[in-house]
Chain A
Amino acid sequence: MGIRTHRSLLLLLALSVVLLFIRTVIPETRQIVSILFFYIALSEVFNLFTGLTLYVCFGYVAFVALGMYGGGATIKYLLSSPNPQPLWVVFVCSFAVAGILALILALIVGWISIRLKGAYFAIATIGLNEGLKNLIEGTGIWGGSSGLIIANDLIRAYNYETFIFVTTDLADYLIFTVYIITVMCIYLVTKSRLGYGLAALREDEEAANVMGVNVVGYKLVVFVISATLAGMLGAGKMIKDVAIYPPQAFAISYTVEAIVISMLGGLGTVTGPIIGGLAYGVLKYMLTVSFPGLQLLALAPALMVMCVVFPYGIVGWLKRRFKGGVIESLLT
């Protein structure tokens, strides 16, 4: 285990630090960089489950939304007391609650549906998203269809300057932290017994099962880890947005954007999401600036062409193109 084996991780961290650096040096880039961070973190979390198992969960955004709700409700509850806790206690609690809620949901849903194979699992989980959204709207918990807003609570409990700092800077750093934890998790999982089991499962699930790999258990473990991190990512997004409404929070486009970025970068690679996230985010941003209102009309054909040109993602294409060279060893 020398520096060579960790090259790709170093490349990844270097890219992330460069992004963070750009963000601090040029204030105008703050907005796009924070969007990029969210996209990269989302697809990295998604990649932890999908990349390692090749299973797609269509209800994935439900975990992010549940994390947003859990985190938001915790903040609202803690700040409603007359003398509120310090900021960091509140945020640690909100992240913990968000993660635990997502973990519980993932255990329930995973227990039912993870036995299903491949696309069956993908489609079975589509109901997760709609179901949770309609449960919140239908029973009116957490504000129901009128949404959960924590901006006033934050301003009242602390002051306006703290509020601005929290939503612009701190939220980005928290999302960045979740992203780094996720990358570490993927790295640790791939190098563990669990990772080897999953690799066998990816190649041939039935053969792996016969060889004594507990396929259902292994899938469930990564599903739960990934969902918990997604919940924490949601808590970070809640601090960033300070408001959540069911239709936007449960928009299926988040799930699909995570899929698109992972596929575009290269599914199952650690560097894929960051390269895919940069490509997708920058492309979307540039199209929005140059064709306001028509960005999606231009983005859709671009994506369709990319699917045909890079079916194994940009990282997959680069690996084939520069086989055996330094570039291949940089990309994992």
Chain B
Amino acid sequence: MIILVTAEYIIFTTITGVLLGTFYGLATIGLSFTFGILRILNSGHGSLVMIGAYISYWSFALLGLPPLISAFLAFAIGFLIGLILYHGLISRVLGGPELISLVLMFAFGIFLQEVAKFSWGASPRGFTLSLGSVNIFGYEYPLTRVIGGVVSAVVVLVLYVFLFRTKSGNAIRSVVEDPEGASLCGVNVSRVYALSLAIALGLTVASGALSTLFVSGGIEPYMGDLYTTRAFAIAVLGGLTSPFGSFLAGLLFGIFENLSYMTLSLANVGNPFSMTRFLTFAMILLVLLVRPQGLLKR
């Protein structure tokens, strides 16, 4: 098969890369949020994406809700999980060694995976929601993915407004700067931690619900592992503690992934999919060599 590389095709690939990237960005923001505020590496990140995908699947299968609506439900459930997790476990290990929270979150991730496997089985599930397609520079692209990308971007915008324009947002940012100082100024640090973890997990679970728009099948208990490694890579590209840096890095990651896949398929490389992933990770190492502090930090 020969695809002629036209300028339109490259633009099309870039635009779809941006749409995919907004989703990647949303799926990573929760990770850098938890790390930036609570100093916790959420090693069970992918399992929460998986839970979101299942929520979206069951809302569609049982209630007929499209993923765009179930994403809100997913956010609410993730928010609740975050609150319970914080008050039940995380608050007890915060004073301990930094790495213990990593083990704890990893165990929590396995727990979610096994609960999913126990209740819904290990075989992959999937559904397709079709709303027609749009024409981008002469190439057809499913409309649902466009909507998914736009919704991800809107959610990130809302988060920005919340962090920079509201009182709770200011409290969160002050805790990031200096927890002790914030506490002296009357900020309830423990409440800020709980709220931040809840928001972060809510966003992650919601991104899982939106993931079904991009990947129609393959909802299974262990699907999250892929998102864990990817989100970690994107987060470090974005500077790890900055949610909006993560979002930008996600965009870059999406564009790079799409363009490199296009080039490699044209060059007839044996396994373009694997090579693309190798190149994205090699790119991250290169970026780190030049800018170890991430993209956005000065």
Closest Cβ–Cβ distance, residue B190 to chain A (whole Å): 17
A113–B93 touching, CB < 8 Å: no
Residues of B within 8 A of A137 (CB): 271, 274
Residues of A within 8 A of B96 (CB): 311-312
Total B residues in contact with A, Cβ cutoff 8 Å:
50
B97–A267 touching, CB < 8 Å: yes
Interface locus among A6-14, A82-90, A174-182, A291-299: A291-299
Partner of B99, one of A145, A263, A301, A303: A263
Cβ contacts B279-292/A at 8 Å (1 or 0 each): 00110110011001
Q: Is A184 an interface residue (CB 8 A)?
A: no
Q: Are A138 and B118 also in contact (CB < 8 A) when A126-B233, A299-B110 are? A: no
Total A residues in contact with B, Cβ cutoff 8 Å:
48
Closest Cβ–Cβ distance, residue A288 to chain B (whole Å): 13
Closest Cβ neighbor of A261 among chain B residues: B103
A contacts with B: majority SS? helix
* Residue from A130, A137, A297 whose CB has the most chain B CB atoms within 10 Å: A130
Cβ contacts B94-138/A at 8 Å (1 or 0 each): 001111111110111011011100100000000000000000000
Q: How far is the CA of A135 from the CA of B236 in the complex (A)?
A: 21
Closest Cβ–Cβ distance, residue B104 to chain A (whole Å): 4
Q: Is B41 an interface residue (CB 8 A)?
A: yes
Q: Is A43 an interface residue (CB 8 A)?
A: no
A259–B274 touching, CB < 8 Å: no
Closest Cβ–Cβ distance, residue A193 to chain B (whole Å): 26
B269–A113 touching, CB < 8 Å: no
Q: Are A138 and B274 also in contact (CB < 8 A) when A113-B285, A123-B235, A300-B111 are? A: yes
B275–A260 touching, CB < 8 Å: no
Closest Cβ–Cβ distance, residue A121 to chain B (whole Å): 10
Interface hits, A15-67 → B, CB 8 Å: 54, 56, 58
Q: Are A140 and B89 also in contact (CB < 8 A) when A112-B288, A299-B110 are? A: no
* Residue from B97, B108, B113, B273 whose CB has the most chain A CB atoms within 10 Å: B97
A308–B236 touching, CB < 8 Å: no
Residues of A within 8 A of B240 (CB): 119-120, 123
B271–A131 touching, CB < 8 Å: no
Closest Cβ–Cβ distance, residue A250 to chain B (whole Å): 10
Interface hits, A95-144 → B, CB 8 Å: 109, 112-113, 115-116, 118-120, 122-124, 126-131, 133-135, 137-140, 144
A252–B275 touching, CB < 8 Å: no
Closest Cβ–Cβ distance, residue A245 to chain B (whole Å): 14
Closest Cβ neighbor of A111 among chain B residues: B289
B41–A123 touching, CB < 8 Å: yes
Residues of B within 8 A of A145 (CB): 271, 274
Closest Cβ–Cβ distance, residue B197 to chain A (whole Å): 15
Q: How far is the CA of A259 from the CA of B97 in the complex (A)?
A: 13
Residues of B within 8 A of A259 (CB): 99, 102-103, 106
Q: How far is the CA of A113 from the CA of B236 in the complex (A)?
A: 12
Cβ contacts B64-106/A at 8 Å (1 or 0 each): 0000000000000000000000000100110011111111101
B92–A308 touching, CB < 8 Å: yes
A residues neighboring B (CB under 8 Å): 54, 56, 58, 109, 112-113, 115-116, 118-120, 122-124, 126-131, 133-135, 137-140, 144-145, 252, 256, 259-260, 263-264, 267, 294, 296-297, 299-301, 303-304, 307-308, 311-312
A-B contact pairs, 9 of them (CB 8 A): A123-B41, A124-B284, A126-B236, A133-B274, A134-B281, A135-B275, A137-B271, A259-B103, A303-B110
